[in-house]
Amino acid sequence: TGLFTYDPGYTATASCESQITYIDGDEGVLLYRGYPIEELAENSDFLEVAYLLLHGELPTRGQQNEFNRAITLHTMVHEQLKNFYNGFRRDAHPMAIMVGVVGALSAFYHDSTDITDKKQRMIASHRMIAKMPTIAAMAYKYSIGQPFIFPRNDLSYTANFMRMCFAVPAEEYEVNPVLCDALDKIFILHMDHEQNASTSTVRLAGSSGANPFACIAAGIASLWGPAHGGANEAALNMLEEIGTPERIPEYIARAKDKNDPFRLMGFGHRVYKNYDPRAKVMQKACHEVLAALGVKNDPLLETAMELERIALSDDYFIEKKLYPNIDFYSGITLKALGFPTTMFTVLFALARTVGWIAQWTEMIEDDNQRIGRPRQIYTGARQRCYAPIHKR
């Protein structure tokens, strides 16, 4: 009808005003509340950056202690929640479990489903940030048939998560600080990325007044796809399929072939038409992890490095500005840390929960907040008369 702007994929539509994350895709800049991502990844830790995203400022020592206490208060999950896991097949994809279990949290915390109460909104935020590692680690333990490990509140956010994933009862488990630091960086780098598909999903779901647990579950569902959060899993699967550097040209040719739907996973980005700043930090962390673990001459890594080199010097990739994105390196790092590929997107969801909550809160507190209701360009049949079945 010409009444509405048609903008498939929303490449030219700002859906909201936001003060949380700034991206300059041409320059390769990413800021959380004004701070460069590189500085935060280098100097900060998970809960400090979470505080920054939620409250807009870095915490003072007192605020930090109070926030850490508020989070650790909620790291346990209700005993009944455990029963959910038993209902799943052991080979269920952990993202399927996450969508179900996180969505079900609203059935346990009726008090914090009242979104009109600022205090309850904050408690809901703390609950989700605190419980995500527990829920994610339980999904992992369930998949490998090991008993759940209880959270330990004397450990850092990330160390506690690693312990819940990798410790086994009655055996000592020491968190390796280099590996823990790398995982913490991965989490910080994934925490927010302005109005991507899953964050927009959380905002759209929340705009109707749905409770925050349901909104985050919607975000997890959106994140799952291979063009978004599922890309790190897809990137690693692709590297394993390629196998050796000799086979790379075959895959590069396929990526360029217009008649072949194949894409190089872990390359390209809707917004970054320059090097993804997170990819740089990730590349360094990836090498640190491999050095700490003594991984040398790993065929997967050699394939990855060679693929990166070829893609960065190939005309097709240069012209289309297709650089390696964060998922290219995070997949390799997470595998080295000991996580199976099916857990990769779960770890992304764990970190992004902070961004989703910060964005959801910002939306609820925005005076201009209205229910999201996109329109369409109708291209279907004009009005016509119903024909009874014997006349069709």
User: What mask, x for binding ligand CMC by CB under 6 A, covers residues 227 to 246?
Assistant: xxx-x---------------
What is the rounded distance in angstroms from the CA atom of residue 200 to the CA atom of residue 3?
A: 23
CB of 160 or CB of 222, closer to ligand CMC:
222
By the rule CB under 6 A, 266 interacts with ligand CMC: yes
What is the rounded distance in angstroms from the CA atom of residue 54 to the CA atom of residue 50?
A: 6
Q: Which of 270, 291, 299, 338 binds ligand CMC (CB under 6 A)?
A: 270
Residue 168 tokens, joined: 């086994």
- Are 130 and 71 spatial neighbours (Cβ–Cβ below 8 Å)? yes
User: What mask, x for binding ligand CMC by CB under 6 A, covers residues 342 to 371?
Assistant: ------------------------------
Angle at 125 between CA 52 and CA 370, to 5 degrees: 95
Size of the site for ligand CMC (CB under 6 A): 20
CB of 185 or CB of 269, closer to ligand CMC:
269
Q: Does 269 participate in catalysis according to the annotation?
A: yes
Selected catalytic residue, list 78, 269, 276, 366 = 269
**Residues of this chain, 170-229, that bind ligand CMC according to CB under 6 A:** 193, 196, 227-229
CB of 252 or CB of 290, closer to ligand CMC:
252
- Are 192 and 54 spatial neighbours (Cβ–Cβ below 8 Å)? no
What is the rounded distance in angstroms from the CA atom of residue 206 to the CA atom of residue 52?
A: 22
CB of 305 to ligand CMC, least distance (A): 17
By CB under 6 A, which span of 123-131, 163-171, 263-271, 294-302 interacts with ligand CMC?
Answer: 263-271
Q: Does 78 participate in catalysis according to the annotation?
A: no
Angle at 87 between CA 83 and CA 91, to 5 degrees: 125
CB of 74 or CB of 203, closer to ligand CMC:
203
What is the rounded distance in angstroms from the CA atom of residue 379 to the CA atom of residue 383?
A: 12
CB of 142 or CB of 348, closer to ligand CMC:
348
- Are 136 and 94 spatial neighbours (Cβ–Cβ below 8 Å)? yes
By the rule CB under 6 A, 320 interacts with ligand CMC: yes
By CB under 6 A, which span of 117-125, 264-272, 284-292, 375-383 interacts with ligand CMC?
Answer: 264-272
Pick from 23, 6, 9: nearest CA to 271: 23
CA atoms within 13 A on the CB side of 186: 30
Catalogue the long-range contacts made by 164-168 (C-beta closer than 8 Å, 24 or more residues apart): 164/133, 164/134, 164/137, 164/138, 165/137, 165/140, 165/141, 165/338, 165/339, 166/338
DSSP secondary structure code for residue 115 in this structure: T
Q: Which of 127, 131, 269, 335 binds ligand CMC (CB under 6 A)?
A: 269
By CB under 6 A, which span of 42-50, 130-138, 239-247, 317-325 interacts with ligand CMC?
Answer: 317-325
What is the rounded distance in angstroms from the CA atom of residue 305 to the CA atom of residue 183?
A: 21
CB of 112 or CB of 196, closer to ligand CMC:
196
**Catalytic residue IDs:** 269, 327
Report the interface residues with ligand CMC, using CB under 6 A.
Answer: 9, 193, 196, 227-229, 231, 255, 263-270, 320, 322, 325, 327
